[in-house]
Each structure stands twice: as structure tokens, then as C-alpha cells.
Chain A
Amino acid sequence: MRSKSVKEIVDFCQEIFEDISFSKARQWKAAQPGRKVIGYMPVYVPREIIHAAGMLPLGVLGGGADMEVIHGDAYYQSYICRIPRSTIELAITGKLDFVDGMMFPSICDVIRNLSGIWQIMFKDKYVRYFDTPQNFKDEVGGVFYGNELRELKAGLEKLAGREITAAQINRSIAVYNENRAWVNKVYDYRAETPWNAPAAEVYLLMRAGMVLPVEEHTRLMKEYLLAAGAEQRPMRDNCRVTLIGTFCEQPPLNLIKSLEMAGCYIVDDDSMLVTRWLLEDVPSDGDPIENLSHAFLHHSAETAAKYEPNLEEKGNYMLESIRKRGADGVIFAAPSFCDPALLDQPMMVQRLEKAGIPYITMQYAENSGQMQPIREQAGTFADSIKLWSAS
């Protein structure tokens, strides 16, 4: 069989990205009677349990840059970020009508309260506010989280009309371990040869993983790496940056493209963290709930929505990512009115300053249209890094 070209793969992903009616997920659901789809918002939900229930986890990341929000603005004041209003817009306009349930992780008060709006407006749907522990001891936060996972499992069992067995969850854990391994390979590949895996391509590839069944997404990443490796593209004299702040409301694709066009290769980011939230493989035997809980408590990413109990550890995840990916600097790109990103930023900035790592800050909304100031800011940053590095 002929292997796919990068262009074919990226076009396929772009089509999924632009399709705010989620046709691929609809097709999956329609292919077999009784199938169910569970939407989830950033940052993290244990997709393994949804998958084990025979359901499709669907990442809902707002309406994107091109969707016109008409109704959503009547639900939110002007000083609240854009993702809840565009998500409501998706729901009101029927684009999520095929979704059987929605999960709202504990990322901030806006997403938390969106779960209540769903409870009020979509009474026939399964709604789960998914609380993760801020205490990371096995006997404290671990017990709480294990029980939360069991409650989630019970809720999904009720929706599925069948039991979700430990063996099924373990199989799903293995499937997601594989997926995560390939996500990490893509990220590693981009960090090694960013000219061969532009950030916009990697972004689209990961966005496809929000909609496609996980097995299909894993295949797609394998194909992409094969195709990208076969197509050598010219290396530019760009600096290398880590992009931080994009873990919930998504930046416009043009913003990502603009940063690279302005001279900044993105060698790491915190977008769609659900794909690589767990930092190690989860054992696929034994008690899956305990294993998922243990992984969350002891081997999960650091982000603004998660408490860091140890002051000395705060920011180390970022610093380690910068070191591991060989980044020259950091671009903080936070959505406007994003409490987690904007409140965390001064603490991260302080650590960068201490480590002598350059950074810039900018804000966006998912529908930001004007990229010229972004290009100018990022271009100046890239130039300054190159000058600074040479000195």
C-alpha cells in the first residue's frame, strides 16, 4: 500500500479541524447502533474509562477562529474568556446534538460553572464535573480520586447499559499507552527537527486526536512520522521556543503559524495536555482504577490548574521541558481572561528570570484575527534571542 504524503495527512487533519459539526465522530457513532459519544473539555479526563465503555471520547475545545458566536454572547459577560461562549454556541446550534454526555474537568471556575449550565440546559444529557485531587498522597487524594473514578465508571455503565470490566479498562489503558508513546515521539521528532515538523502540522495532528478513535489517531501519527521523515524540508535560522498557556482555550491556527513565520520554532507546548498528561505508561494489569489514580498522583504533568505542594518544585516541569527540548526561550500566550494561565504566569516568569531564560508574553482569544502585532513581537523576540545567544 502506498504510504501517505505529509500533505495528504495534514489535509485530512485540517478537514477534521475545520469541521465544527464533528462529522468523523458522527460517522463513528452512526456506524453501529447503540454507540455513544462523550465530550470532554480541557485539561484532563481519563479517556481510558470512556473507551473501555465502548464510547468515543470527543475533545471539545471551543468553536475556533471562524465560528460566528451569535447566541453564546448572551450567556457570558464580555470579561469572561471565549471558550465557554463558543462551546455553548456549538451546543445551541446543534453541533453537539449527537454527544451523549459531557465532562467538565476541574480547570477553573468558568469551566466548572459551564457544567452547571449544561445541567440546566441539557437535562437529558449525562453531565459530569470531573474533580481531580489537589492532594497527592495515596491515602488522602488517592482514595478520593479512586472513588471519583469509580463514580465516573458507574455513571458511564449506566449510560452504556452494561458493566465496564477491569479487563476492558486494562485493554484501553494499553491502547492509550501506545497513543501517548506516539504523541511523545511526534513531540520528540519536532523538537529534534522542527523544520521537518512545523508546529501547525503537529497541532493539527493532535487536534485530529480529539475527534478520531484513539487507534486511528495512533495510526495517523505513525504515518505522519514516516511521511515527515521522507520529506526533508529546509532548515531555517529560527530560534527554538516553548509555548505556554494554550492548555484550554485554543490559539487560532494562524497564531501558531505566525510564530513560526516570525522566526520561532515551537519545540514544546502545553496544548491538548490530555494526550500526554500521564508521564509514564500506566500498568495494563492489576486494578486499573488504582493504576490510573497512581499515575495521576505521581506521574502527571504540571499545569496552572494543578496545585504544586512543594514551593521548590514549582516551575520545574517547565524548566525541565525547556532543557529537554532545547528551547532558547518561552512564549507565554494566554487566552484573555484566563485565570489559571494569567495567575500562574508571574510565578513562571520569576523562575525564567532566575534561570536567565528569555520570554515574552502575549494574549489571544480563539478568534483573534490580527496577527501582524504577534508576528512583530515574536520576530523581535527571535532576533533578540539570536543576538543574545551569539554574545
Chain B
Amino acid sequence: MSHQDVVKSQSQLLQKEMISRNYDRITSGESKVSSTFVPGNLNELLMCFDIANNLPEINAIQNAMRKKSGEMIASAERSGHSEDVCTYVKADIGMMEKGNIAPNGKPFPNPDMLLLSYTGCFTFLKWFELLREQYRCPTVMLHVPYAADGKPTQNMRDYIVKQLKEEVIPLMEQVSGIKFDIDRLREYLRKSALAEDDLVWMLEQSKRKPSPIDCYFGGVYYMGPIFTAFRGTDEAIDYYKMLRAEIEQRIELGLGAQTPEGEMPEEKYRLVVEGPPNWTSFREFWKMFYEMGAVVVASSYTKVGGVYDYDNFRHDPEHPLESLADYCLGVYTNRNLPTRVDMLARNVKEYEADGLLINSIKSCNSFSAGQLVMMREVEKLTGKPGAFIETDLVDPRYFSAANVKNRLESYFQMIDQKRRAGA
């Protein structure tokens, strides 16, 4: 299927436009720019200082989907970066080596600051140390402690708030020349919460049969605005309203999930997926699912930039900095393994899934280390079979279509057998 034939909803088109606008803003030279990460992404705070938000993971994803990341990774490896480490980092460094061109074809300016939101991923720390070597720009660490016992403590929360007050905000003031206005932050957070309500509504619609949405492949589009540079904006509110209306219409029409080739004809398998998707062969990967009638009804990746449905977190304008702290602490990969297991097992049960599929990512130890234990635990808790496939984020060398397809086919056969045995 050519790109022209791909079926896109109005909300997808709107999102594309939003992302393009953000890249235009970043590359325009008219705004100060901060690089930061998706998990623990303090978009509302950056907005208080009119600083544009550039997310290197998203750049790596964009390059992967345009089939450019392989050469970028190779370039980084040639300059001394190990084959063993995160390919997001190497795609980013390789992009720099190749002129640092943004998806809109214009060169990225050097960032004015690096906001090292160290949330749920060790690699972030090294990644921005590496970028700091190149850009030599002000860099601020926001250390988000790991919620190792399942719940954040007051000490963790206080520590983050103190860092925001004494490190992060002063640097943003210095870089932007704008004084911090907490009421401005409150207003953005109020808007965040509105969009987040619609987001959670959307996530929960896949409890329906058939599910009107795919919460993994489709989910990465749906999560886009809230996880990137739009949380706290009117645009995000409008986007999620539009998405909600589209889904409501799908429900009314009794439609299943939308795929790049149109409506999914039959929902044969309902899955919960753990782990990020592969981006270099995203369409091919997705196609393997919808061709076999599999829809993803819940996924942990749609929580990577913030968890809203598990314990009903919403940004709270009444407690702005504390709310940002809670948001960072609650990011999926910042939660301990027993909590992640509980989340996935609840998803399997509540969304009436046939089982848990883990897409284990070579690059991402934060997600991947411990997933085999998680799979067995979820199987124990739900009585549903689990399956394991292995790919990578943006390194095309680690996507073996035949292997993935074989494993998926075997998994679906296993589900069929279980159904027959249970019938």
C-alpha cells in the first residue's frame, strides 16, 4: 500500500499538522528551545517561559519511520558508540553527525537548554551528558526517584518540588528572560487535566467489543499530543475532543479498530501489549496484527509518558509543582515491577483480553529487564497465555519480520487451542 492510500482520520491529520507546526517553531529560530524527554515531560512548565519543546525520542522515531535511522545509528557506531547501547541515543547522535536536520527539512538549532528529566530510564542521564558535550549549553538535572515500593513517598515528592524550585525554574528564567508565573502554570495544568479526561475516556473504550480503537499501534497516535509538546494547550483539548467524537461515531456504527487499510473486518484476538513498538517497520508490524484479526486493547506504551487510567492521576492546578512531581513519579517505567504486573494483569482482566504479548526491545533495559518474569506473573494472575517477541526501537537490524510473524502465528494458535479447550 502506498503512502497515498493510507487511511487517516481527521484527528490524525490534525495531529500531523500540530507536529509540523512544532517543528517549524523549533527550527524557526524565533523561540528558545529546550530538549527534554517524553517521560517526565514538563511541557506546561516550558510553556510558562515560551520555550519550545524538542523531544529527541520523537526525532528518532520520525527518522526511523522515514527509514533514516539505520544510517544514523551506523554513523554513531563508527564514531565510537557501542553496538550494545540504546539506539535512540545513537540515532540522535548520528542525526547530529549528519547535519541535525529536522523532519521539516530545516536544521535544528542548538538547544538553549537541556532539561534532563531523569524519569524511569537510566540512559536519559548519559544521553544528555553526551548531548551536553556537543551543545555545551546549560543543562539541568531533574532527578525523579524510582517508585521502588509501588508508591511515591513524600520525600520523593518534596525532592522533586525542591529541584523544580531551586534548579529547573531558575534556569528556565535565566534562559528565557521570563519570570515564573505560577498562575500561568495553573492555567496550563487546568487545560492538561481537561485533555487528560478525554484521553482516559478514549483508553477505556477498548473495553468494548469490538474495540473501536487499537490501543498500541493506533494508541501511539492518540497519545501523541499529550506526551509531547501539546499537553496544557487548547490545541490538545481540541484534538482530544475531535478524537472522542470520532470514536463515539465508530461506536455508534459498531466499527472495530481503524487500520491504515481501513476498518478492521473482524476482531478475532484481543491483546494487551507490554513494551514500545518497533518503529523502523511500524506499518509492517501493525499489519501482522490486523491481518490476523488481532487488536490491542491496552498497552503499557500508552503510559510511557504518564499514567492516567491506573490510579486516576490528573494534573492539579491547585497543587501545581506537587502535581508535576506526581506526574513524573507515576510514569510507567518509574514504577516497580510488581506494580507493572498488576497494571497489566488488570488490563487483561478488565479489557477481557486473550493474553499478554510482550514486545521486548533490545535497546530499552528500562522496559525489558524483567519482562520474562512479568509475563509469567501475569499468566499466573490471569490464567491467560503470554507470548514474547523481540525487536528494537529504531535499529532496522533488529526487526526480523519472519521471526515476529512466526511467533505471532504460534501465539494465536495457542489462544485458539485454549479457547477450544475452554469451550
Residues of A within 8 A of B176 (CB): none
CA distance A228 to B158 in the complex (A): 51
Contacts of A350 in B (CB 8 A): 133
Interface centre among A80, A133, A336, A346 (most CB of B within 10 A): A346
A120 close to chain B: CB less than 8 A: yes
> Is B146 a contact of A120 with CB atoms below 8 Å?
no
Q: Please, how many angstroms separate the alpha-carbon atoms of A84 and B369 in the complex?
A: 9
B155: Cβ under 8 A from any A Cβ: yes
Most-contacted residue by chain B among A135, A151, A305, A349 (CB, 10 A):
A135
Contact digits for A128-160, partner B, Cβ 8 Å, 1 yes 0 no = 110101110101110110011001000000000
Residue B338 at the chain A interface, CB threshold 8 Å: yes
B337 A108 Cβ-Cβ under 8 A: no
Closest chain A CB from B241 CB (angstroms): 37
Q: Are B122 and A108 in contact (CB under 8 A)?
A: yes
Contact partner of A113 among B81, B167, B369, CB < 8 A? Answer: B369
Tell whether, in the assembled complex, residue B365 and residue A80 are in contact, meaning their CB atoms are under 8 Å apart.
yes
CA gap between A110 and B369 in the complex, in Å: 5
A67 on the B face (CB < 8 A): no
| Chief secondary structure at chain A's binding surface | helix
Find out whether the CB atom of B146 lies under 8 angstroms from the CB atom of A345.
no
Residues in chain A near residue B307, CB distance under 8 A = none
In chain A, positions 346-366 with a C-beta closer than 8 Å to chain B are 346-347, 349-350, 363
What is the CA–CA distance of A87 and B80 in the complex, to the nearest angstrom?
30
Bound-state CA distance A373–B37 (Å) is 40
Closest-by-CB residue of B relative to A104 is B148
Q: A340 with B360: in contact, given A131-B146, A135-B167 (CB under 8 Å)?
A: no
List chain B residues, Cβ under 8 A from A121. 373
Interface residues of B in 335-394 (CB under 8 A from A): 336-338, 340-341, 360, 362, 365-366, 368-373, 377, 390
B121 close to A (CB within 8 Å)? yes
Q: Give complex CA distance A131, B125 in Å.
A: 15
Q: Is the CB of A120 within 8 A of B162?
A: no
On whether the beta carbons of A311 and B369 are closer than 8 Å, the reply is no
Residue of A nearest to B335 (CB): A116
With A75-B372, A339-B85 already in contact, the answer to whether A113 and B141 are too (CB < 8 A) is no
B125 to chain A: closest CB distance in Å?
Answer: 6
A304 an interface residue at 8 Å Cβ cutoff? yes
Complex-state Cα separation, A148 to B148, whole angstroms: 12
Is B61 in the interface zone, CB < 8 Å from A?
A: no
Residues of A within 8 A of B130 (CB): 343, 346-347
Chain B 50-79, CB within 8 Å of chain A: the 1/0 string?
000000000000000000000000000001
Quick one: closest A residue to B121, CB to CB? A109
Q: Are A110 and B365 in contact (CB under 8 A)?
A: yes
Query: Closest CB-CB distance, B330 to chain A, in whole Å?
Result: 16
Nearest B residue (CB) for A351: B133
B166→A112 contact, CB < 8 A? no
- Contact call B136/A343, Cβ cutoff below 8 A: no
From A74, A76, A336, A339, B126 is in contact (CB under 8 Å) with A339
- Residues in chain A near residue B86, CB distance under 8 A: 339, 343
Complex: A309 Cα to B142 Cα, angstroms: 11
Determine if A337 is an interface residue (Cβ-Cβ < 8 Å).
yes
Q: A113-B337, A151-B155 are in contact. Are A134 and B125 (CB under 8 A)?
A: yes
Q: Does B22 count as interface, using CB distance less than 8 angstroms?
A: no
B322 on the A face (CB < 8 A): no
> Which residues in window 93-143 of B have CB below 8 A to A?
116, 118, 121-123, 125-127, 129-130, 132-133, 136, 139, 141, 143
A347 and B143 contact, CB distance less than 8 A:
no
Encode B294-336 as 1/0 by CB contact (under 8 A) with A: 0000000000000000000000000000000000000001001
* Nearest chain A CB to B151 CB, angstrom units: 13
Which residues of A lie under 8 Å from residue B341 when comparing CB positions? 120
Among A117, A131, A143, A349, contact of B145 (Cβ-Cβ < 8 Å): A131
CA of A239 to CA of B116, assembled, Å? 40
Residues B126 and A340 in contact, CB atoms below 8 Å apart: yes
Contact (Cβ within 8 A) B336 A119: yes
Whether A77 and B80, one on each chain, are in contact in the complex, defined by CB atoms closer than 8 angstroms, is no
A115 close to B (CB within 8 Å): yes
A143 contacts B133, C-beta separation under 8 Å: no
Residue of A nearest to B367 (CB): A109
Q: Return the chain B residue nearest A80 by Cβ.
A: B369
- The 11 sampled A-B contact pairs (Cβ below 8 Å) are A75-B373, A128-B148, A129-B336, A131-B145, A134-B118, A140-B162, A144-B155, A307-B141, A311-B132, A339-B126, A363-B84
A sample of 19 more A-B contacts (CB under 8 A), given A84-B369, A131-B145, is A77-B360, A77-B368, A109-B369, A115-B336, A117-B370, A121-B373, A129-B149, A133-B143, A140-B162, A140-B163, A143-B159, A144-B156, A144-B158, A305-B122, A311-B136, A336-B84, A346-B79, A347-B133, A349-B80
10 A-B pairs with least C-beta separation:
A116-B337, A129-B148, A343-B126, A144-B159, A134-B143, A113-B370, A342-B82, A113-B369, A109-B365, A109-B366
